[in-house]
Amino acid sequence: MGDRLIHEDRLFPADSGTRAVARELYEQVRYLPIVSPHGHTDPRWFADNAPFGNPTELLLAPDHYLYRMLFSQGISLAELGVADRQGAVKADPRTAWQEFAAHFYLFRGTPSAMWLNHVFAELFGIDRVLDASSADFYYDTIDEALKQEAFRPRALFDAFNIEVLATTESPLDPLEHHRRIRSSSWQGRVITSYRPDPVVDPEYQDFGASITLLGEITGENVATWQGYLNAHRNRREYFRSMGATATDHGHPTAQTAKLSPAECEQLYAKVCRGGVRAEDAELFRAQMLTEMARMSVDDGMVMQIHAGAHRNHNDWILENYGRDKGADIPQRVDFVHGLKPLLDELGNEPGLSIILFNLDESTYGRELAPLAGHYACLKLGPPWWFFDSPEGMRRFRELTTETAGFYNTVGFNDDTRAFLSIPARHDVARRVDCSFLARLVAEHRLNLDEARELAADLTYFLPRNTYRLDQQSVPDAAPV
Amino acid sequence: MGDRLIHEDRLFPADSGTRAVARELYEQVRYLPIVSPHGHTDPRWFADNAPFGNPTELLLAPDHYLYRMLFSQGISLAELGVADRQGAVKADPRTAWQEFAAHFYLFRGTPSAMWLNHVFAELFGIDRVLDASSADFYYDTIDEALKQEAFRPRALFDAFNIEVLATTESPLDPLEHHRRIRSSSWQGRVITSYRPDPVVDPEYQDFGASITLLGEITGENVATWQGYLNAHRNRREYFRSMGATATDHGHPTAQTAKLSPAECEQLYAKVCRGGVRAEDAELFRAQMLTEMARMSVDDGMVMQIHAGAHRNHNDWILENYGRDKGADIPQRVDFVHGLKPLLDELGNEPGLSIILFNLDESTYGRELAPLAGHYACLKLGPPWWFFDSPEGMRRFRELTTETAGFYNTVGFNDDTRAFLSIPARHDVARRVDCSFLARLVAEHRLNLDEARELAADLTYFLPRNTYRLDQQSVPDAAPV
Amino acid sequence: MGDRLIHEDRLFPADSGTRAVARELYEQVRYLPIVSPHGHTDPRWFADNAPFGNPTELLLAPDHYLYRMLFSQGISLAELGVADRQGAVKADPRTAWQEFAAHFYLFRGTPSAMWLNHVFAELFGIDRVLDASSADFYYDTIDEALKQEAFRPRALFDAFNIEVLATTESPLDPLEHHRRIRSSSWQGRVITSYRPDPVVDPEYQDFGASITLLGEITGENVATWQGYLNAHRNRREYFRSMGATATDHGHPTAQTAKLSPAECEQLYAKVCRGGVRAEDAELFRAQMLTEMARMSVDDGMVMQIHAGAHRNHNDWILENYGRDKGADIPQRVDFVHGLKPLLDELGNEPGLSIILFNLDESTYGRELAPLAGHYACLKLGPPWWFFDSPEGMRRFRELTTETAGFYNTVGFNDDTRAFLSIPARHDVARRVDCSFLARLVAEHRLNLDEARELAADLTYFLPRNTYRLDQQSVPDAAPV
């Protein structure tokens, strides 16, 4: 099934001896449960367990990897069914799908093509290449399947063999869907993560209103710096009660700060007044990374820092379609100097665990591997976003292993809102890691026993342990 | 012929299965016509069709790749027949050739060696390695050949199967040679490109005099900002009448600007006064990229930006031998922030096409592929100058394909003044691209049909389409 | 012997044809003498020729590669036998060794594992993997061996087939050990190198006292700039009399300067007063690189610049354990602008030879290869520190060869204080270089004769020639 779209040996090295080792390692980890400690699926899916919509609404319109590439070749977002800033969708879903199909060749050599072909072949049993001539066949086949029970969110979750799936929510989110999931009879483990950007980044849309709302939700006096910090503590605790073991911080840079309490108070007052200057916004974000790390020392939450995206680079898109519409571009990051204030303050605290994600590959060997290969609190997140790809993963291992080893990395994150692609994404990661290990075996830099152990560690044990997923974070919770 | 110098399977991957695929793909594109949309050959050659001079004058003295390496090992430029600042050539050409031959081993592993060996073997039928012992044999063989009709510029152009060859000229150039080529009976298509650096860069030698001359040529009042812009419009139109479909901009950085008309007027007045400060010069160049893009929106010329060269790094060489003598060094480039002003202004204009060339490989995955994978106006030029090499081309594909795909790249540019090496350079590019595609096929990341189509696109159709070479830019011109 | 730990074909490419070529090239260079022109072994070892201590003291406690990785996984330096700032060692050596052994799996895929396994297998004849269960066996085996005559420093030096070994000393060092080695009957050639950081870097610990001491040692009036320079000249001459052919400069950046004598005098007065500002310290270091280059023009010493380490990044470690405890992190370096002042001043001086070492791989292709491929005074040092590894060496060749060729590189440096690992380190370099050459041969980019010659050049002749080790620097010295 699906042989024309995905090959049994895909992503393994061409050299036959090395490929044989890769295959052997892969067979051992192929069916291990999926641990997904960082992603962006919608918890409502698992709370409601309603059928997914049509193929365009499910697979095309929400996937910025897809529409950014199509946009780059002159196809408008409107034609693809992407909602505009007012939420209006103009395209007919079938017509949008046809447009996509006719341009699917643009994705040759990209991970998107590989993930989608996996989904098409494995999930929908399709064996034809997607192009203009097969567009309707695809649309009808997928649309029909989505109406079946087996394609409901919970059924897919179980079929995907997901052991745990983390979503990401703002402190302002009531976590109602998580509450419903936990109180349901369904055994799937879906947990939240604490993503405070909207109340930490003074340049975030509606920052002032969000702070006010944070005060209301928590009953803390957010007019003061201490009240604001208490509000975070309060929400972190609530998130932990909904299974969270980690926080997540999406910052343009890796800058941290080490201000005195008095300086913090002044700076907080300044950013609350609105009309903040860019350098004050940056300093506040920087200080908040240090504050979040301090809270992690106290409450044991693993801290994830996603640094380096210049968000919404295309003004016209931002104005007409809003945030997060495929116009984010990575930028240079300086971890060495950026992280130093935080590390000076807390870098040697036992139990602190910070996972660094990165969009600037020039830092892998120069900064990240040396930092993670020294500080006990630092670990390297997997290659992310533009680098969550076969070549990106290969470079990550080549550039970090010799200095940081394998055990300062944390396994794979799918980081996706494309729920159907989760097995495909983990499969790519397993194949690429096994191929890297196979090369080390073939070059007699590891022996086969070591490689076997590493394959299982990278696939399953490292994410489970690093994200503290074997611990019940809420003592009184029912087993999930 | 030439088996000792060039091997039939050169540059293909060692793995036999992958090599077989590479060979198959290469056979399909090997004999496609050469499309050369960006280069620096001398149009006078094709206008005059006079015989080339001696081997040193043709192959050694003008090739900065060669004499920079020899200079790096302590050989003076004078010994190699390079003219000094006053234009004086001190070395006897045969003696210079002997010096070069004795040091040809320095080029082991470099593209220069590969290109030259291709020329020696394929063009001159030589089958001995170039070294001190074969220096005279080489000199005599090549010198003799150059006197034959078959080695005249037009005969070589035809033999090389060049479909179109673009040269690059300053706005101050009367394009007399292009005019003579077009009015001749010869059918070779040689077109110009608009390279306005001398009248756009206030730090360019004789900038003030060049502006004056630009005014005289165009009859525009270049004392005013509007007159200056009109002069550009005027010359762009004239260049289009001489076949130009593209402009080219060699800037130290990728900085652009978005000044108001009043600010532009003031800045222009400032740079015209002379004695310009470095930051004003940079700002003027930055603004001129935006102005050139605006004109491209109007007249449809494809815009090429070559960013990142620190020119004439060696003061002593500049003083004694002048510009462009192998002492240019790449420097860090910031495309994300640099291009933003231009993109804010014009980034979503239909029909605008900007090709980005780059000397800072750390930007491939971090900045360039994400930018080209989003903005419809941006395309990625091939690896350039120091990176126009097998490893450089391989890294380019590995670092850009997964985010930008193949179709946001534009095929190969030979970018050369070494006319004889054009087939060798295109051959290297074809081999390396086919090898990259073969790896994707061997790893089941593409199927063979897709790879075949891509091989032809990368070799022929992408450059032809991107540079708009299928359009006749001058409606009333005779077919060229 | 040791087959389980090191494989005969380790590090060779998996493809069988390419591996055969690599093997052939390696066989030719495998037994060439070791030329070690840059390292940090203790000359006292060869002066005293006393037995080495226990396994922990010899192999673990001084090796920052090892304890930084262990520290990164939460193991304290004290447990590993690392001395604290007061010099106190708290751990029992056998217990520390057991801790190390139990965590040796952390080094999978790192050069440390490869070097150590080489030492274990080849030197101590061990054939079991190091882990908790074999810890005592290892400890006893090595401890026993170290008591034998064959494991004394001079016997090992001879057994290792070291032709010359350079150590590195401060100008304040009396070089007593070198004097004793030279006056002994032992024929081993151990030479010093001039490493003036403690009297050149105003931010170095005890800078002021060091300057005073420099004055006392040399009898120069170091209260004046000229006296200070004379003191350097004096010590350089003394170092040359102890075999030195090179100087070495460890600077955070590659910044150089070109100040007037008056500016130098003022700046020197400022840094001598103490309480120096960071920018003055940087400027003084920058100027001193130019001064050292000027002295190299005069006295013929090869100049090594090691740029790019942010030293002692972890404040807590610095406070509790002192300098150089595995907390150095690379940082971004700008060679293009940094070196320009020095190159403007001295870049075309015949005889000047500067070897550039680097921790920012993004500069290999962009800056270093183009600089070394032009300036006759610049050569590229081998990949260093975090990049002295199979992947690091491979990237170095891939990123520099096409622009700088092989002959602007200088062969391998082991740069180590881990004397026992010297053969292992040189062996890795030989294998990786031969593998790179083998790929070029397999892809018909070099022929086998060229590769053979290059293998010997990279292994033996380039370091010997570049470091001027064939010259007797002290005319009246006895043959060493």
- Residue C82 is part of a domain; what is its CATH number? 1.10.2020.10
| Side-by-side strand order, sheet with A34-36 | A34-36, A162-166, A190-191
Q: Give yes or no: residues A143 and A160 share one domain.
A: no
The answer to whether residue A219 scores a pLDDT higher than 60 is yes
Orientation of helix A16-29 relative to helix A448-456, angle to 10°: 40
Query: What is the rounded distance in angstroms from the CA atom of residue A250 to the CA atom of residue A357?
Result: 9
The answer to whether residue B1 scores a pLDDT higher than 90 is no
| DSSP symbol at B446 | S
Residues of B with Cβ-Cβ distance to A359 under 8 angstroms: 366
Decide: C410 and C355 in contact? Cβ < 8 Å: yes
Q: The tokens of C225 are what?
A: 């700039």
pLDDT tens-place string over residues C32-59: 999 999 999 999 999 999 999 999 999 9
Decide: C232 and C197 in contact? Cβ < 8 Å: no
Residues of A with Cβ-Cβ distance to C107 under 8 angstroms: 405
Query: What is the rounded distance in angstroms from the CA atom of residue B392 to the CA atom of residue B360?
Result: 11
Q: Give yes or no: residues C355 and C244 share one domain.
A: yes
**What is the DSSP code string of A382-422?**
PP-GGG-SHHHHHHHHHHHHHHH-STTB-------S-GGGH
Query: What is the rounded distance in angstroms from the CA atom of residue C163 to the CA atom of residue C189?
Result: 7
User: What is the pLDDT tens value at each position of chain C, 480 positions in all?
Assistant: 445 899 999 999 999 999 999 999 999 999 999 999 999 999 999 999 999 999 999 999 999 999 999 999 999 999 999 999 999 999 999 999 999 999 999 999 999 999 999 999 999 999 999 999 999 999 999 999 999 999 999 999 999 999 999 999 999 999 999 999 999 999 999 999 999 999 999 999 999 999 999 999 999 999 999 999 999 999 999 999 999 999 999 999 999 999 999 999 999 999 999 899 999 999 999 999 999 999 999 999 999 999 999 999 999 999 999 999 999 999 999 999 999 999 999 999 999 999 999 999 999 999 999 999 999 999 999 999 999 999 999 999 999 999 999 999 999 999 999 999 999 999 999 999 999 999 999 999 999 999 999 999 999 999 999 999 985 443 343 333
**Residue B391: which of C18, C343, C398 has the nearest Cβ?**
C398
The shortest C-alpha distance from C16 to chain B (Å) reads 8
Q: Has residue B312 been placed in a domain?
A: yes
Q: Give yes or no: residues B299 and B436 share one domain.
A: yes
Query: What is the rounded distance in angstroms from the CA atom of residue B98 to the CA atom of residue B135?
Result: 5
What's the rounded mean pLDDT across residues A391-415?
A: 98
Q: The tokens of A207 are what?
A: 């920052």
The shortest C-alpha distance from C402 to chain B (Å) reads 4
Least confident interval from A81-90, A172-181, A210-219, B339-348: A81-90
Q: The tokens of B434 are what?
A: 């086919």
Domain extent at residue C103: 52-149
Q: Has residue B415 been placed in a domain?
A: yes
pLDDT for C475: 36
Q: Give yes or no: residues A158 and A114 share one domain.
A: no
Decide: C466 and C480 in contact? Cβ < 8 Å: no
Q: Does B337 touch chain C (CB under 8 A)?
A: no
| Side-by-side strand order, sheet with B354-358 | B246-251, B302-307, B354-358, B378-380
Q: Which residue has the tokens 């400027």?
A: C283
**Residue A370: which of C6, C330, C361 has the nearest Cβ?**
C330
Q: pTM for the whole thing?
A: 0.97
Residues of A with Cβ-Cβ distance to B442 under 8 angstroms: 14
Q: Give yes or no: residues C145 and C225 share one domain.
A: no
**Residue C329: which of A336, A439, A444 has the nearest Cβ?**
A336
- Decide if A331 and B367 are in contact by the 8 Å CB cutoff: yes
| A-interface mutation test, from B331, B356, B394, B444, most A Cβ less than 10 A away | B444
The shortest C-alpha distance from C75 to chain A (Å) reads 8
Query: What is the rounded distance in angstroms from the CA atom of residue C464 to the CA atom of residue C457?
Result: 9
Q: Give yes or no: residues B204 and B227 share one domain.
A: yes
| C-interface mutation test, from A445, A452, A454, most C Cβ less than 10 A away | A445
Q: Give yes or no: residues B95 and B163 share one domain.
A: no
Q: The tokens of B170 are what?
A: 């300053």
Beta strand residue intervals within A167-278, DSSP E: 190-191, 246-251
Query: What is the rounded distance in angstroms from the CA atom of residue A450 to the CA atom of residue A452?
Result: 5
pLDDT for B3: 59
Q: Has residue C139 been placed in a domain?
A: yes
Percent of chain B whose predicted confidence (pLDDT) is above 90: 96
The shortest C-alpha distance from C22 to chain B (Å) reads 13
The shortest C-alpha distance from A296 to chain B (Å) reads 30
Q: Does B462 touch chain C (CB under 8 A)?
A: no
Q: Of A79, A114, A148, which marks where a domain is finished? A: A148
**Residue B367: which of A15, A114, A330 has the nearest Cβ?**
A330
Q: Give yes or no: residues C79 and C166 share one domain.
A: no
Question: In which band, very low, low, confident or very high, does the pLDDT at B193 lie, cut at 50, 70 and 90?
Answer: very high
Total number of domains in chain C: 2
- Decide if A316 and B348 are in contact by the 8 Å CB cutoff: yes
Amino acid C436 reads: F
Q: Has residue C11 been placed in a domain?
A: no
Query: What is the rounded distance in angstroms from the CA atom of residue A417 to the CA atom of residue A395?
Result: 25
Decide: C194 and C235 in contact? Cβ < 8 Å: yes
Decide: A295 and A236 in contact? Cβ < 8 Å: yes
Residues of A with Cβ-Cβ distance to B445 under 8 angstroms: 10-11, 109, 114, 390
Hey, which residues 103-162 in chain B have their CB within 8 Å of chain C? 105-111, 114
pLDDT for C1: 41
**What is the DSSP code string of B233-282?**
HHHHHHHHHTT--EEEEEESS-------HHHHHHHHHHHHTS---HHHHH
Q: Has residue A6 been placed in a domain?
A: no
Reported for B206-210, long-range contacts at CB under 8 A and 24+ positions apart, including other chains, are B207/B271, B207/B274, B208/B272, B208/B274, B210/B170, B210/B172
What's the rounded mean pLDDT across residues A359-388?
A: 98
Hey, which residues 91-110 in chain B have their CB within 8 Å of chain C? 105-110
Q: Of C119, C149, C179, which marks where a domain is finished? A: C149
Q: Does A13 touch chain B (CB under 8 A)?
A: yes
What is the dihedral angle through the alpha carbons of C32, C34, C35, C38, rounded to the nearest 10 degrees? 150
Q: Of B151, B179, B201, which marks where a domain is finished? A: B151
Question: In which band, very low, low, confident or very high, does the pLDDT at B470 lie, cut at 50, 70 and 90?
Answer: confident
Residues of A with Cβ-Cβ distance to C74 under 8 angstroms: 350, 376
What is the dihedral angle through the alpha carbons of A43, A49, A53, A57, rounded to the nearest 10 degrees? 10
Burial label for C1, CB within 10 Å (0-12, 13-18, 19+), is: exposed
Contacts of residue B466, defined as CB under 8 A and 6 or more positions apart, other chains included, come to B37, B302, B353, B355, B379, B410, B411
pLDDT for A471: 58
> Hey, is C171 helix, strand or coil?
coil
The answer to whether residue A1 scores a pLDDT higher than 60 is no
Hey, which residues 350-389 in chain C have their CB within 8 Å of chain B? 350, 362, 365-367, 369-376, 378
Hey, which residues 42-71 in chain A have their CB within 8 Å of chain B? 68-69, 71
Query: What is the rounded distance in angstroms from the CA atom of residue A81 to the CA atom of residue A92?
Result: 7
Query: What is the rounded distance in angstroms from the CA atom of residue B331 to the CA atom of residue B313?
Result: 11
Hey, which residues 432-451 in chain B have their CB within 8 Å of chain A? 439-440, 442-447, 450
Q: What is the CATH number of the domain that holds C248?
A: 3.20.20.140
> Which of B403, B336, B397, B372 lies closest to A387 in space, CA to CA?
B403
- The pLDDT mean for chain A works out to 96
Query: What is the rounded distance in angstroms from the CA atom of residue C388 to the CA atom of residue A403?
Result: 10
Q: Does A474 touch chain B (CB under 8 A)?
A: no
| DSSP symbol at B375 | -
What is the dihedral angle through the alpha carbons of A243, A245, A246, A247, rounded to the nearest 10 degrees? 50
Decide: C322 and C293 in contact? Cβ < 8 Å: no
Q: The tokens of B78 are what?
A: 């004078």
Query: What is the rounded distance in angstroms from the CA atom of residue B323 to the CA atom of residue B85?
Result: 9
Q: Does C392 touch chain A (CB under 8 A)?
A: yes
Question: In which band, very low, low, confident or very high, does the pLDDT at A477 lie, cut at 50, 70 and 90?
Answer: very low
Residue of chain A nearest B21, judged by CA positions = A14
**Residue C370: which of B109, B317, B386 has the nearest Cβ?**
B386
Q: Give yes or no: residues B238 and B380 share one domain.
A: yes
Q: Has residue C177 been placed in a domain?
A: yes
| DSSP symbol at B120 | I
Q: Give yes or no: residues C359 and C451 share one domain.
A: yes
What's the rounded mean pLDDT across residues A376-390?
A: 98
Q: Give yes or no: residues A136 and A187 share one domain.
A: no
Q: Give yes or no: residues A398 and A424 share one domain.
A: yes
Q: Has residue C260 been placed in a domain?
A: yes
> Which of A131, A98, A95 lies closest to A113 in space, CA to CA?
A131
How many CB atoms are closer than 10 A to CB B476? 6
pLDDT for C39: 97
Contacts of residue A273, defined as CB under 8 A and 6 or more positions apart, other chains included, come to none
Q: Has residue B63 been placed in a domain?
A: yes
> Which of A477, A474, A451, A471 lies closest to A164 in space, CA to CA?
A471
Query: What is the rounded distance in angstroms from the CA atom of residue C390 to the CA atom of residue A49?
Result: 51
